Amino acid sequence: MQKVYLDNAATTQLRPEVIAKMQAALGVYGNPSSTHSFGRSAKTGIEKARKTIAKYLNAHPAEIIFTSGGTEADNMILRCAVRDLEVKTIITSKIEHHAVLHTAEELEKEFGIDLWFVDLDDCGNPRIDHLEELLKKNDSKKLVSLMHVNNELGNLLDIEAVSNLCKNCDALLHSDTVQSVGHFEWNLEETKIDFLTAAAHKFHGPKGVGFAFVRRNSGLKPFIFGGAQERGFRAGTESFHNIIGLEEAFVQAYDNLEDEKKYVSGLKQYFTAQVKKELPGAKFNGLSGDMDKSTYTLVSVCLPFSQEKSQMLLFHLDLKGIACSKGSACQSGSDKGSHVLTEILSADDLAKPSLRFSFSKYNTKEELDYVIGVLKEFSND
């Protein structure tokens, strides 16, 4: 049976170069906090990784905090901003990742902050005019949290416009860039964002490691207490081999970005063209079918199948060796539908199956032809 993996927005295949670096790193077993040579060797590797990431992002090494991934980093930034920076209002959207939405909801309960949601247009884009209205609504200290690439729709946020608006209104800006880092270039000296988050497993690195960018002199205090790791901000012995894997995946992603972006963009263009040709009545959710206004790494398709057929679709695809997501992988196993699609689709389209197909350098056009053929066969049964 042919096996086709088109769920790269959920997680990605490790690069061989990453595996090799991590295998070597497993032999460096000293505690990075120890002062002897074994510990110093590990500490040197971690600080080198921090400097490498900072260089590619045009940031300062002290602004890179290693975490267990994007969810922890999102929680850390939102919670610490309320606790330490006198943030009284969080402005976000209803289609953010649950790492942001659920954290903001808990902070509303715990600290009594105001939680405001920016209006969305029909495609799922935050309305900049409404965001400006909310920012000017009162004089409370505000934190805006909007993701750069939506993990279900692929919509691209105009991060420059949002960052400029936040600065003009004296508001802090956090962006969940888990679907963005490793796939788009960043210059954090020019883009005046205060906080962003990343996860290695979204760009062919290991699971269980990521980082937060926290701009210098932010005023944030320790999130996890204990030792003095991560400049005292996040206690706990660092996962050396994972950090080394993150560094290698990061370097490989950016050193090969131009070529791989061109290749993966070609796959998406081909797939969207085949969907239009072979599956009449299919629709692209949000702006995922627009190459200029969405990420080149994914497409979300609403398929013209009946509710009865829809219940068997994912099962059928799995039997055919095809991996993709119904909405987001973070929703799998849940009886609830996608909170993102619920916000933007009509009742009729919500009754139809929507699938997210996400691509990587390891996919081929032949695989996409196979997937289209399986979907076409299923629609005709």
Residue type, 136: K
158 contacts: CB under 8 Å, gap ≥ 6: 128
pLDDT of residue 308: 78
How many angstroms separate the CA atoms of 135 and 352, rounded? 37
Q: What is the mean pLDDT of residues 57-76?
A: 97
Q: Where in the chain is the domain with CATH 3.40.640.10?
A: 16-255
Residue 316's pLDDT band, with cuts at 50, 70 and 90, is very high
pLDDT at 328 over 50: no
Q: How do residues 139-165 score in pLDDT, each as one tens digit?
A: 999 999 999 999 999 999 999 999 999
pLDDT of residue 231: 86
pLDDT of residue 194: 98
Q: What is the Cα 138 distance to its own chain's centre? A: 31
Residue 329's pLDDT band, with cuts at 50, 70 and 90, is very low
Percent of the chain whose pLDDT exceeds 70: 97
| Strand runs labelled E in 76-202 | 89-92, 114-117, 142-145, 172-176, 195-199
Q: Is 73 exposed, middle or buried (0-12, 13-18, 19+ CB in 10 A)?
A: buried
Q: How do residues 36-66 score in pLDDT, each as one tens digit?
A: 999 999 999 999 999 999 999 999 999 999 9
- The pTM assigned to this predicted structure is 0.94
Q: What is the mean pLDDT of residues 225-244?
A: 93
Q: What is the mean pLDDT of residues 177-186?
A: 98
Q: How do residues 188-203 score in pLDDT, each as one tens digit?
A: 999 999 999 999 999 9
pLDDT of residue 333: 47
Question: Under a CB-based contact definition with an 8 Å cutoff, are residues 97 and 147 in contact?
Answer: yes
CATH for 4-12+257-380 is 3.90.1150.10
- Give the catalytic positions in this structure: 330
Residue 332's pLDDT band, with cuts at 50, 70 and 90, is very low
Q: What is the mean pLDDT of residues 119-134?
A: 97
Mean pLDDT rounded to a whole number for the chain:
95
Compute CA distances 326 → 4, 299, 361, whole Å: 16, 12, 22
Extract the tokens encoding 115.
């939680």
Minimum mean pLDDT range among 89-103, 172-186, 298-312: 298-312
Q: Where in the chain is the domain with CATH 3.90.1150.10?
A: 4-12+257-380
pLDDT at 331 over 50: no
Minimum mean pLDDT range among 91-105, 204-218, 309-323: 309-323
pLDDT of residue 263: 98
Residue 321's pLDDT band, with cuts at 50, 70 and 90, is very high
Domain 16-255 grouped into CATH 3.40.50.720: no
